[in-house]
């Protein structure tokens, strides 16, 4: 049944469900994306050219595909070896790698954020926020009964509200405040967008209402869509641009009109990305070391961007 209302407001459903369903079905093709088999020998020759020591036996795309299996199917490394060994019986070109090799090669993968610029708008609008990822599967009873607390890790992200791609990512522990990660996130986002897709506007909640952030946005020529406090000063107290934004909000008649002018409602897109990420990959991590947890989150975010690119 089609919903015609959303939160009490008219919301006509204009989505073409046949196209949308096909896009979601196409995501499953990534599980068996074995195009690299046709270039197996050529890829190995390129990787081993001029290499000192033992030559590579498995090309990089194969390791990337195995990382996909590890992340999507939550498959341990020993089971991954058996999975490929059995699959190789049906695909003669495929060669199974032992679990130690898989672990070492996946650990060495380049985890820099992968973004597809052609899906970005001419003027990019970015939303910024953070979310918590649990580090243990222990429930509330265990935590309350035995007073065991392992905390959580924090995922800070900037996303493009148009394509839903994650443009900036920082993973920290729970003690790091959101505003402290704004500058490195913005640097990543600007770099990933490139000159052809400049960042036009940044949307953020009150956690980013800091003079330093407004000054950084002004320096880069980026408009602010950051929510300021209701009692914020209208004169400069370290950031003339922040004071200007506060005066602009007051001239418009308050928060509601300011939010409408700056498309602040689009900030929920970052919450939607976090929700999708957790539904697909789970709300926790399986790694036990701090470095392993951070790498696991980075791999999940990269594959999330690849899923978006695959169905765009």
| pLDDT (tens digit per residue) in 39-96 | 999 999 999 998 888 999 999 999 999 999 999 888 999 999 999 999 999 998 899 9
Mean pLDDT (the chain) is 88
According to the model, what pLDDT value does residue 147 have? 67
Of 162 and 152, the structure prediction assigns the larger pLDDT to 162
In order of 5, 10, 16, 22, 276, the CA distances from 2 in angstroms are: 9, 12, 12, 19, 22
According to the model, what pLDDT value does residue 143 have? 64
In terms of Cβ atoms closer than 10 Å to its own Cβ (0-12, 13-18, 19+), residue 188 is: buried
* Nearest CA among 213, 207, 209, 132 for reference residue 172: 132
Of 257 and 11, the structure prediction assigns the larger pLDDT to 257
According to the model, what pLDDT value does residue 1 have? 44
Q: What is the mean pLDDT of residues 220-244?
A: 91
According to the model, what pLDDT value does residue 4 have? 52
pLDDT band at 307 (very low <50, low <70, confident <90, very high): confident
DSSP 13-74: ----HHHHHHHHHHHGGGGG--GGGGGHHHHHHHHHTT--SSPPSS-HHHHHHHHHHHHHS-
* Nearest CA among 196, 195, 217 for reference residue 262: 217
Q: Look at the domain 117-286 and name its fold.
A: Nucleotidyltransferase; domain 5 (3.30.420)
Sequence spans of domains, the chain: 17-107, 117-286
Count of residues in the chain: 312
Query: Which H or E run contains 200?
Result: strand 199-204
Is the pLDDT reported for residue 159 higher than 50? Answer: yes
Q: What is the mean pLDDT of residues 163-178?
A: 93
Is the pLDDT reported for residue 129 higher than 70? Answer: yes
Q: Are 154 and 130 in contact (CB under 8 A)?
A: yes
DSSP character for 284?
A: B
Record the pTM: 0.86
According to the model, what pLDDT value does residue 288 have? 81
Scanning the structure block, which residue is given the tokens 């989150």?
A: 297
Is the pLDDT reported for residue 274 higher than 60? Answer: yes
Q: What is the mean pLDDT of residues 127-131?
A: 96
Is the pLDDT reported for residue 227 higher than 80? Answer: yes
Three-class SS of residue 189?
A: helix
According to the model, what pLDDT value does residue 312 have? 61
Is the pLDDT reported for residue 213 higher than 90? Answer: yes
């Amino acid at each position: 049944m089609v919903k015609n209302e959303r939160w009490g407001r008219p919301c006509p459903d204009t989505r073409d469900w046949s196209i949308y369903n096909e896009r979601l079905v196409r995501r499953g093709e990534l599980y068996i994306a074995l195009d690299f088999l046709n270039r197996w020998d050529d890829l190995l020759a390129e990787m081993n050219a001029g290499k000192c020591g033992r030559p590579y036996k498995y090309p990089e795309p194969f390791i990337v595909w195995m990382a996909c299996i590890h992340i999507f199917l939550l498959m341990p490394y020993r089971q991954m070896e058996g999975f490929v060994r059995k699959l190789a019986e049906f695909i003669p070109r495929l060669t199974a790698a032992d679990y130690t090799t898989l672990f070492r090669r996946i650990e060495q993968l380049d985890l820099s954020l992968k973004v597809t610029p052609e899906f970005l708008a001419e003027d990019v609008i970015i939303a910024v926020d953070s979310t918590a990822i649990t580090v243990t599967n222990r429930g509330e009873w265990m935590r309350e009964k035995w007073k065991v607390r392992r905390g959580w890790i924090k995922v800070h992200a900037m996303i493009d509200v148009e394509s839903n791609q994650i443009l900036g990512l920082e993973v920290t522990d729970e003690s790091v405040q959101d505003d402290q990660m704004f500058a490195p996130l913005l640097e990543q986002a600007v770099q990933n967008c490139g000159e052809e897709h400049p960042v036009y506007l940044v949307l953020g909640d009150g956690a980013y209402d800091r003079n330093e952030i407004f000054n950084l946005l002004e320096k880069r020529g980026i408009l602010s869509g950051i929510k300021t406090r209701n009692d914020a000063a209208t004169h400069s107290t370290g950031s003339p641009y922040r004071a200007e934004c506060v005066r602009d909000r007051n001239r418009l008649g308050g928060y509601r009109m300011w939010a409408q002018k700056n498309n602040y409602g689009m900030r929920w897109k970052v919450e939607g990305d976090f929700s999708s990420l957790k539904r697909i990959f789970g709300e926790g991590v399986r790694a036990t070391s701090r470095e392993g947890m951070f790498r696991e989150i980075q791999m999940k975010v990269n594959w999330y961007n690849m899923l978006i690119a695959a169905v765009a």
